[in-house]
């Protein structure tokens, strides 16, 4: 009997397959379909303070001189956006039985904590902090950006008791140090990695446009390497793999290098939400062929510390790899 049960950030999941934050997780109809497809948990679409502010700004562009009107509209839009998100949490908790993880991205410290408290009260099972800022100030040392992460997390930890998960990008000088410090802070989980907006250029009209919003299977390479390394070096924190997971093989690879869960998104846009059930079935089939009865039987089998030559995960240059080719 195949048992896919796992634990992530203190939450008991029927399997390690999580549908990550996106438009797919922004309405009850899709959330119910995701549960029917077999997901172990759902991360709701992120509540972005920047988006709220932009919406309020667009409504007040007609007259920048009416400060009271701006303040009123800004507050109205913000309160309604947050209320809609809280209602989504409540409705999702009533509609499905799997864990509901909320997600927020804020610009101001006070909003991280105020949003977090409201989200906990609304009934979310955990909170994912989607923290990111572009390090582009030439007068600010790199470590100060890192300290910003830790300060935000400390304040949120003071405010709520539900599990806190931090979704990270890979633009850090020492990613292992960052995750190790989060573990020391008793953060419950880390997601590797966040996917950011990538700009492209239209050479005909000289405009900036977004690059592809979907991941490709090749995007698996970066999180695969870092999951293998971090899962071996920092063992007191839950790890979730995100980016490039398009089929059962990719999911199995992530579990083999030490992920506790895997997050799926882009492929569900391309093939439909029911495709998740195929990924789960193929994973179970593979486990059966290898005589694994549970995920713990093979999780971490191919991590940094468990392979004969861990330096393979460290290699950064192509020269040695291709030296045998003419």
pLDDT score of 69 more than 50: no
Report H helices in the chain: 28-36, 49-60, 67-95, 109-122, 142-159, 175-184, 221-233, 248-256, 266-271, 275-289, 319-322
Q: How confident is the model at residue 23 (pLDDT cuts 50, 70, 90)?
A: very high
Cβ 260 vs Cβ 299: under 8 Å: yes
Q: How confident is the model at residue 216 (pLDDT cuts 50, 70, 90)?
A: confident
pTM beyond 0.85: the answer is yes
Helix, strand, coil percentages, rounded to 5, for the chain: 45, 15, 35
Structure tokens at 155: 């304040």
**What average pLDDT does range 243-271 have in this prediction?**
97
In terms of C-beta distances under 8 Å and separation of at least 24 residues, what long-range contacts does 55-64 make, across chains too?
55/81
Q: What is the pLDDT of residues 73-90, one digit of tens each?
A: 344 344 558 899 999 999
Sign, Cα dihedral of 137, 139, 142, 145: negative
Q: What is the mean pLDDT of the chain?
A: 87
* Angle (CA) 119 127 132, round 5°: 110
Q: What is the pLDDT of residues 129-168, one digit of tens each?
A: 988 877 888 999 988 989 999 999 999 999 999 999 999 9
Q: Report pLDDT for 181.
A: 97
Distance CA(131)–CA(112), nearest Å, equals: 10
Distance CA(183)–CA(160), nearest Å, equals: 17
Cβ 112 vs Cβ 82: under 8 Å: no
**What average pLDDT does range 170-192 have in this prediction?**
95
Residue 207, classed as helix, strand or coil, is strand
Distance CA(81)–CA(209), nearest Å, equals: 26
- CB hemisphere CA count around 239 (13 angstroms): 29
Q: Report pLDDT for 316.
A: 55
Is residue 98 exposed (0-12), middle (13-18) or buried (19+ Cβ within 10 Å)?
Answer: buried
Domains of the chain: 6-322 (3.20.20.70)
């Amino acid at each position: 009997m195949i048992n896919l049960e796992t634990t992530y950030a203190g939450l008991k999941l029927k399997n390690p397959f999580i549908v990550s934050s996106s438009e797919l997780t922004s309405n009850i109809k899709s959330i119910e379909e995701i549960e029917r497809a077999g997901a172990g948990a759902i991360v709701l679409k992120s509540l972005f303070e920047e988006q709220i502010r932009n919406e309020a700004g667009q409504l007040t562009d007609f007259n920048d001189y009416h400060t009271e009107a701006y303040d009123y509209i800004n507050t109205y839009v913000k309160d309604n956006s947050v209320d809609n998100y809280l209602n989504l949490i409540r409705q999702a908790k009533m509609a499905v039985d799997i864990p509901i993880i909320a997600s927020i991205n804020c610009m101001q410290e006070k909003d991280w904590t105020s949003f977090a408290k409201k989200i906990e009260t609304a009934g979310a099972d955990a909170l994912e902090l989607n923290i990111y800022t572009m390090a582009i100030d030439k007068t600010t040392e790199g470590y100060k950006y890192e300290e910003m992460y830790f300060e935000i997390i400390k304040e949120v930890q003071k405010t709520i008791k539900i599990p806190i998960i931090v979704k990270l990008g890979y633009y850090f000088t020492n990613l292992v140090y960052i995750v190790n410090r989060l573990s020391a802070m008793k953060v419950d989980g880390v997601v590797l990695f966040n996917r950011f907006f990538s700009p492209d250029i239209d050479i005909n009209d000289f405009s900036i446009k977004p690059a592809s919003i979907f991941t490709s299977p090749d995007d698996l390479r970066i999180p695969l390497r870092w999951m293998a390394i971090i899962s071996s070096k920092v063992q007191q924190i839950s790890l979730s793999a995100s980016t490039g997971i398009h089929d059962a093989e990719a999911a199995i690879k992530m579990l083999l290098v030490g992920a506790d869960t895997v997050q799926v998104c882009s492929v569900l846009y391309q093939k439909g939400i029911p495709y998740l059930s195929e990924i789960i079935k193929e994973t179970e089939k593979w486990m059966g062929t290898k005589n694994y009865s549970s995920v713990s039987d093979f999780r971490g089998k191919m991590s940094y510390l468990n392979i004969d030559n861990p330096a393979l995960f460290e290699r950064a240059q192509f020269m040695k790899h291709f030296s045998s080719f003419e």
